[in-house]
A and B are shown apart, each in its own frame.
Chain A
């Protein structure tokens, strides 16, 4: 398919070039085939010469489904003249058989209208081909076209093929007016039709018409890709790389099926809606028992037809028994060729008096579509031989319902939701979402930060403990402040000595020297080496000289003023020595 598409496109381009030399502008419509079946797809290519933007107008195609399939543009230069063209592709899917004229595609270029030449397409029915020539087809059928309401209709859909296909997709199909049950899995088998062997995929469904009158099973369709082996003649060198198969799209169709659904005749009493063939059987677990003992009666309804609708048959009057219901159990079998099923209804019967107690026959009325009439199935009557109770006269409850201790399990009679909460905390103001997240982050980070703080603190104190000079340096200011505090109480000679010692000790602590032994000149030298500014060194030197002189004469400044002066000096020194790289 793709190959053919390519060759036709090539042909169109060649034609276009020829036309382009002659006219420069125009429109052509080409198809890859002029004869096709309803199952085929036709590729229509509309080529516009002289423009790469032109959007051609398609002719009316009421007999085809039209799907766009891309476009390709081309620019070629022949003998120095440039021609441009654009090719639009469309896939046409035939809707009906016959011979159809495809009208002109039109385009307007620079104010001039161009139109392509009309041509004819012949569409034939694929089914018209001899069966052995059809490589693949689908069929569907029903077991009867005149069912009764509720009757089981077997719908069989099959896909026959003797070529390789891929990507098979069943088109959507809605079955209105039916109750649908799938029967079994998709079955695959080989069969021979018209001397040819086919692989068949088959799907079976049970349909139950829900209303009388005309019902339609809509047409079925299946799209797939057929894998086609290329003929050796057409093979190119690339086929060795890319495989010698190509694919071809097919859409297979099967016609709609009309059903004429007949109403059921007026139903007799006791009819519960079962249509098909059903039977009812009764069974008792034991026939000889004592008063107060229990026996289980099992009534089984089984058959084929709308078995989902099996309901409990009416029990005859059992006044001489106490009757306890048990849960019914049932199953619907969808694996066979038809839908069938059975349901068992169990009763525990406790005879209330001795004697021959009969359970009359139980009947089931259903509609048999095969005979077109209502039928009634019956169980055979059962007789129980009940002997008087040996022990106490009082009744035992059945084993399955109550334990032998006589205690009865609590049964829930009715259920309801629990009442609302009236707890006022429900509207107590809480944290917003953001605040909660904030709390979480802070709560997670704080302990970690505290730990780090603790760690740093501990490291520092350990270093202090081991490094004496560091400790002295660190505590110099504090020591000096303590000795300054004492200064206020002194005067005269003592004050001068104390101040001098304080200043020298501070400098000694800071520089790691024995401060009290330093002379003013030594202090001067050390401070200069430590990088303290000239002006400050000079001030220190001057003050130390003054203090020394004061020890031998009178102190000029009072103690209070001296303290202020010293404090200022210490602060300046502290700053410069901390920054100066002590």
Chain B
């Protein structure tokens, strides 16, 4: 009976993982086929809007393409490719800040997509301010590479898989099949689970926020309020780290440590 329970659990966890993976960058072939099938039957609207939006983009109707892509991007159900296309539409439409924000969102969902990276780099070249976008330090980026190189969905799948492996290894040990190898497997799975789960938790609890400047020029003030002094100015497309948010204002920090307050209506906030 207990073996049957194990099997059910394993299947459930795998289904969960597959469902999460489909959300992420690299869906399994079966999942993809299933999705395409259901598109044909019930959800033709999305496909139609997507195809229309692509056609509008190629015909140069960027405004319309933007509206269609935005409508497809229901909150919480965004696909990296849609954000990528939206970024292209914004860039062609001359909205550099929104384009960069869309590319950043696309990159958060598809962290290793070279097309997104290339277009983001192109867009950044046209930004006016000579400031580097916020980046993790080289040490952090190397030490906890998975935190920066994997999307949230991929981290979720990794966490589920390591969780399943850990408990499976522990279960095997219950049946007195204990060995040195198994003990090490438990330790390794535990470490991997803590790494992926911890990363997921950190991103859920305190996600990194960046603000992308939308208008051609904005004033960064010494405090949150229109009567505070203007400290410096930023231009469209500049990406800055957000340290705090308060009543429609965000405290931002440049890579060189300069800080100031920006009105939220002038920026697009991107949660990574």
Residues of A that sit less than 8 Å from B by CB = 172, 415-436, 439-440, 442-444, 446-451, 453-455, 457-458
**In the complex the two chains form, what is the Cα distance from A102 to B79 in whole Å?**
71
Evaluate whether A443 and B160 lie within 8 angstroms (CB atoms) in the complex, with A424-B50, A426-B50 already known.
yes
Count of chain B residues with a beta carbon within 8 Å of a chain A beta carbon: 62
Query: A443 and B49: CB pair below 8 A?
Result: no
B173 to chain A, nearest CB (A): 10
Residues from chain A with Cβ under 8 Å of B50 in the complex: 424, 426-427
**In the complex the two chains form, what is the Cα distance from A292 to B75 in whole Å?**
65
B23 within 8 A of partner (CB): yes
Binds A, one of B5-13, B128-136, B177-185: B5-13
Contact of A439 (CB < 8 Å), options: B2, B16, B88, B170: B16
**In the complex the two chains form, what is the Cα distance from A426 to B5 in whole Å?**
36
Evaluate whether A426 and B81 lie within 8 angstroms (CB atoms) in the complex, with A415-B122, A443-B13 already known.
yes
Query: B167 and A451: CB pair below 8 A?
Result: yes
Contact of A421 (CB < 8 Å), options: B13, B20, B39, B85: B85
Among residues of A, the one whose C-beta sits closest to the C-beta of B193 is A444
**Pairs A–B under 8 Å by Cβ, sample size 8:** A172-B229, A426-B80, A426-B81, A428-B79, A440-B20, A444-B197, A446-B12, A457-B1
Evaluate whether A418 and B9 lie within 8 angstroms (CB atoms) in the complex, with A429-B43, A442-B16, A444-B163 already known.
no
Contact of A447 (CB < 8 Å), options: B57, B118, B164: B164
Query: A429 and B46: CB pair below 8 A?
Result: yes
B65-95 CB mask vs A (1 if < 8 Å, else 0) is: 0000000100111011110110011011000
Query: B39 and A443: CB pair below 8 A?
Result: no
Contact of A417 (CB < 8 Å), options: B75, B122, B159: B122
Query: B163 and A424: CB pair below 8 A?
Result: no
Binds A, one of B30-38, B141-149, B211-219, B241-249: B30-38
**In the complex the two chains form, what is the Cα distance from A436 to B154 in whole Å?**
12
Query: B119 and A425: CB pair below 8 A?
Result: no
Residues from chain A with Cβ under 8 Å of B88 in the complex: 417, 419-420
Evaluate whether A431 and B39 lie within 8 angstroms (CB atoms) in the complex, with A426-B81, A447-B9 already known.
no
Contact of B167 (CB < 8 Å), options: A425, A427, A450: A450
**In the complex the two chains form, what is the Cα distance from A32 to B135 in whole Å?**
57
Query: B16 and A443: CB pair below 8 A?
Result: yes
A444 to chain B, nearest CB (A): 5
A353 to chain B, nearest CB (A): 42
Query: A424 and B171: CB pair below 8 A?
Result: no
Among residues of A, the one whose C-beta sits closest to the C-beta of B175 is A458
- 10 A-B pairs closest in CB distance: A433-B76, A428-B35, A447-B167, A426-B81, A427-B46, A443-B16, A439-B16, A421-B81, A450-B9, A420-B85
Query: A444 and B54: CB pair below 8 A?
Result: no
Query: A426 and B79: CB pair below 8 A?
Result: yes
Residues of B that sit less than 8 Å from A by CB = 1-2, 5-6, 8-10, 12-13, 16-17, 19-20, 22-23, 27, 32, 35-36, 38-39, 43, 46-47, 49-50, 54, 57-58, 72, 75-77, 79-82, 84-85, 88-89, 91-92, 115, 118-119, 122-123, 153, 156, 159-160, 163-164, 166-168, 170-171, 174, 197, 229
Dominant SS at the B interface? helix
Query: A447 and B82: CB pair below 8 A?
Result: no
Query: A424 and B39: CB pair below 8 A?
Result: yes
Query: B35 and A429: CB pair below 8 A?
Result: yes
Among residues of B, the one whose C-beta sits closest to the C-beta of A452 is B167
A527 to chain B, nearest CB (A): 34
Among residues of A, the one whose C-beta sits closest to the C-beta of B155 is A440
Contact of B32 (CB < 8 Å), options: A425, A442, A449: A425
**In the complex the two chains form, what is the Cα distance from A449 to B50 in whole Å?**
43
Evaluate whether A443 and B174 lie within 8 angstroms (CB atoms) in the complex, with A417-B91, A422-B54, A457-B2 already known.
no
**In the complex the two chains form, what is the Cα distance from A436 to B76 in whole Å?**
10
Query: B32 and A428: CB pair below 8 A?
Result: yes
Residues from chain B with Cβ under 8 Å of A454 in the complex: 2, 5-6, 171, 174
Among residues of B, the one whose C-beta sits closest to the C-beta of A447 is B167
Evaluate whether A446 and B122 lie within 8 angstroms (CB atoms) in the complex, with A428-B22, A429-B43 already known.
no
Apart from A421-B85, A436-B23, A450-B9: 20 A-B pairs, beta carbons within 8 A: A416-B122, A418-B115, A419-B88, A426-B82, A427-B46, A428-B27, A428-B39, A429-B35, A430-B22, A430-B77, A431-B19, A431-B20, A431-B23, A443-B160, A447-B168, A448-B167, A453-B2, A454-B174, A457-B1, A458-B174
Residues from chain A with Cβ under 8 Å of B89 in the complex: 420
The interface centre, meaning the residue of A418, A419, A421, A431 with most chain B CB atoms within 10 A of its CB, is A421
